[in-house]
Amino acid sequence: MSRYNGEQVLVVPRAVYEAVGAFHGVRKNPQDYLTAFLRSGEARYMDRDEAEVNPQFKQIIAYAIFRHEGRILAYARTPKGGEVRLHNKMSLGIGGHINPIDGLTDSIDTYLAGMEREVREEIRFSGGATHRLYAVINDDTNDVGSVHLGMVHLFELDTEDVAPNEKALAELAFHSLDELAGPLYERLETWSAICVDALRAEQV
- SS3 label, residue 156: strand
With b meaning 16 or more CB within 10 Å and e meaning fewer, what string describes 154-177?
Answer: bbebeeeebeeeeebbbeeebbeb
Residue 86 pLDDT > 80, yes or no?
no
Tell me the pTM.
0.91
Residue 83 pLDDT > 60, yes or no?
no
Instruction: Identify whether 1 is part of a domain.
Output: no
Tell me the pLDDT band of 168, cut-offs 50, 70 and 90: confident
Instruction: Identify whether 55 is part of a domain.
Output: yes
Instruction: Identify whether 132 is part of a domain.
Output: yes
CATH code: domain of residue 80: 3.90.79.10
In the chain, the amino acid numbered 188 is L
DSSP labels, 75-89: EEEPTTSS-GGGTT-
Domain that holds residue 126: 8-203
Split into its structural domains, the chain has a count of 1
Instruction: Identify whether 3 is part of a domain.
Output: no
